[in-house]
Amino acid sequence: MKKLLSVILMLVFLVSLFAEVGVYNDKVVIGTFQALSGPYAIIGQEMSKGMKAYFNWINSRGGIHGRKIELIIADDQLNPAKTVVEVKRLVEQDKVFAIVGGLGTYGCLAVMDYLEQNKVPFVYQGAGTSKLVIPPKKYIFGVQPDYTLEGTLIGKYVGEIAKFKNPAIVYMNNDIGLEGYAAFKAKLEDYKMKPVVEISYNPADTDYSGLVVKLVEKNPDVIVIYGLITDTIRWVKTIRDYGLDSKIITIYPNADPSFIKLAGKYAEGVIFTGWVPLATPDRPEFVRDYQRAISIYQQTYPKEIMSSYAVAGFIAAEVFTEGLIRTGKNLTREGLVKALESFKNWNGILAKDITWGPNLRRGKSSMYFMVVKNGQFVPLTDLIRP
């Protein structure tokens, strides 16, 4: 009997040596970090809801290859110092298989090297910095467009598609603004153009009247604003109150119904970049996809409508789940990496046109433009590429 027990214990030990971290017969355990409390909680809570709704739907259908997906959510309050602590706990104590859908540029950057060195897949970052995907890192898979791609496409729209002649750019003096500004300005050079006005500002400032005078002096035909919702709305209001009728273009983090609600009449005519296609009557396939996503979401959150942040979480979950499907029953981290590298212009329910490869970690290389018309987002272009 003792000999049999010893054999069983040895077998258990051997199996444990070859078992993948976070993978069990009936489930796979993954982690994410979100701002569930603190000043940015509304973003993290909504993104978490999108992820939970999708994974709940998958689990209600039996999971993937017989495994349900267990999501552990760490609250880092969008504080990079907390992000490091929480991610190390997820990896070293909770033994997660992967990190999916982390929120925040600085938090994602703070844990990027740690996850890469520990060979933990990090799928989807709620961040726009190109540092996450360029140069490519084996275990880091980006989905959202980065600010270099976005700035390049805004430059293309300004110089080639809409054919503006006298562009100006207003940008935050931080990593987001500086990266977008550099890409926009570089792309304008393709059309032998340069901004007639360049304004760098501190996002903590609340009065732009002294700076807007520079725009009034040059009267540009289009103004690109690299700012987040609160300061972008303040810029739009100041520009309009000073009598400028220039077209205004701003970035995809602002393309949320809350912008229209908060800006009121000032939102009318503002142009936004986007990467999740709009469900409009002229695109019935997108309407069907969006209705399906809402149906899935409301199985967990009845009668609620998805915010843009919930959509981001939903997409993070569906992209990761497709990776699990492609990996197969024998789930390993290395297998997941190879499976994700097989994505080529993949379309999910809400995720569209996702491509990765052995030396490509920028999952999204296309965007489109939309405008606020009669209080609604209306598409101006199809998906365009640099």
Task: Reduce the secondary structure of 170-236 to three states and give it as a string.
Answer: EEECCHHHHHHHHHHHHHHHHHCCCCCEEEEECCCCCCCHHHHHHHHHHCCCEEEEECCHHHHHHHH
CB atoms within 10 A of CB 304: 14
Check pLDDT > 50 for residue 16: no
Radius of gyration, alpha carbons of the chain: 23
> Could you tell me which residues come within 8 angstroms of residue 347 by beta carbon, excluding any fewer than 6 positions away?
353, 354
For helices 175-188 and 147-156, the axis angle rounded to 10 degrees is 40
Domain parsing of the chain, residue ranges? 27-144+285-352, 148-274+368-379
Query: Using 50, 70 and 90 to split pLDDT, how confident is the model at 11?
Result: very low
Where is pLDDT greater, at 14 or 308? 308
User: In the prediction, which pLDDT does 281 show?
Assistant: 76
DSSP type of residue 261: H
Length of the chain: 386
Hey, what CATH class is 27-144+285-352 in?
alpha beta
Q: pLDDT band at residue 283, thresholds of 50, 70 and 90? A: confident
- List pLDDT tens digits, range 195-210: 999 999 998 898 999 9
In the chain, helix, strand, coil percent, each to 5?
Answer: 45, 20, 35
User: Stretch 41-57: mean pLDDT, rounded?
Assistant: 96
Is the pLDDT at 55 greater than 70? The verdict is: yes
pLDDT score recorded for residue 17:
44
pTM score of the predicted model: 0.88
27-144+285-352 and 148-274+368-379 share one fold: yes
pLDDT score for 64: 98
Residues 347-361 pLDDT 10s = 999 999 999 999 999
- Please compute the mean of the pLDDT values over residues 61-83 and round it to a whole number: 97
Omega prior to 203 cis, within 30 of 0? no
Give 322's pLDDT tier (boundaries 50, 70, 90): very high
CATH class name, domain 148-274+368-379:
alpha beta
The pLDDT, as a whole number, for residue 279 is: 80
In the predicted model, what is the mean pLDDT of residues 298-304? 96
Tell how strand 122-126 and strand 99-103 pair up. Answer: parallel
Of the pLDDT bands very low, low, confident and very high (cuts 50, 70, 90), residue 15 is very low
Considering the chain, what percentage of its residues have pLDDT values greater than 90?
87
pLDDT higher than 70, residue 18: no
Q: What is the overall mean pLDDT for the chain?
A: 93
Residue among 314, 327, 317 nearest 65 (CA): 327
Residues whose CB falls within 8 Å of the CB of residue 183, separated by 6 or more in sequence, listed in order? 147, 148, 149, 150, 151, 152, 155
